[in-house]
Structure formats: C-alpha cells, structure tokens
Amino acid sequence: MSLSRGRTPLFALLLLSLSWSLGIRRAEALEGALTVAPADSIYTLAGELYTTERYVEAIPLFEQVVSLNPRFANAYALLGSSFLHLGVYEKAIANFEKALGIDEGVKLAYLGLIAAHYYTSNLDEAQRWARKCMPVLSADEKVRWIALFQRKFPELTAGLTGLRPVRREG
C-alpha cells in the first residue's frame, strides 16, 4: 500500500488515536505502526517529510526503509540528502556512496557527493565526483548540471577542464 499525501494506513491511525488517549507521544506511536508497514509505504511517508523540508523526521524513516530493503538506492540517496541539508556531511557522504554502490545511475547521489565535498572544502573529491557523474547524464542534463556547478560551486568549475555548457541548436 502506497501512501498518498495526507493519508496514513488505517492501523497507524488507530494506533495513534489509542496512543493519544493513553498519553503516548505521536512519534512513539508512529514508530510502532511503521515497523509493520511495507518499505514502500514508509518510503512514501519519508519522501513527503523530505519534500516539506522536515529532514529530522524523515531520517529515521529512511533508515528504517534501508534496514528493510538494503538494496533501495534511492532511499540511501534521500537519506544522504537529508543529512546534507542538516550539515551532517560524513553521514551524507556515506549514504550517497551506498546509493551509488547499489545503482550508479542515482543522479541525486552524485550531486550530493559533489555538494558535501565542496562544503567540506574537499574540492579534489568534489571535482572527481563531478567528472564521474558526466557519463550518466544526458546531453541536456549536462548543460543544466554544468550551469548549476558554475552558479553554486564556482571554485569547483574553475578546476574542471573540458566541462563547458554546450549551446543547443534551435
């Protein structure tokens, strides 16, 4: 069962209402309800928290998803991105690398590694990941990403030779 915006599984709602009457905190009640939910339902809920910038709340859910499904590369990437947004760079890097170890096509993981290394002043590693991501990007994506690099990571692009935006014809 996948969660859509604003919906939770019936068992979670029942557990929450019972828990409130017993004085148990919402997070404790949700934790119990979510341990029996399938990984995709938890992932959906974590994704909703992530998109509303509630990273602290999303992290334990993404962690639960990867414990239930250790091959879920996108969950590792979003877990890494949550840590990145909170400035916890070591954990961000570790999770981005796990994502790419599972699936080398997870573009968010490349961007996250570039940003995390850039923000920790490790420009050599940031440049290495920028070069490494280029083969997985389409031509249009390369144009957008290089423009993003130039705007967000100016010191990074200065050291990247051969990475120039290409003008599109027409």
pLDDT of residue 36: 42
Question: According to the model, what pLDDT value does residue 159 have?
Answer: 59
Is 10 among the domain residues?
no
Q: 10-residue block means of pLDDT along the chain (170 residues)?
A: 39 41 43 59 94 96 95 96 97 98 96 95 93 92 88 76 46
Alpha-carbon separation of residue 157 from 3, 116, 136 (angstroms): 40, 15, 18
Give domain status of residue 141, yes or no: yes
Assigned domain for 77 exists? yes
Does 26 map to a domain?
no
Three-state SS for 132?
Answer: helix
pLDDT at site 162: 53
- Quick check: is 44 in a domain? yes
Considering its fold, how many domains does the chain have in total? 1
- Give the residue numbers spanning the domain of 56: 38-158
Residue 66 lies in a domain: yes
Q: Is pTM beyond 0.85 here?
A: no
User: Given this model, what pLDDT does residue 4 score?
Assistant: 38
Q: What are phi and psi of 102, to 5 degrees?
A: -90, -45
pLDDT value of residue 55? 96
Cα 111–chain centre separation: 10
C-alpha span between 165 and 63 (Å, rounded)? 37
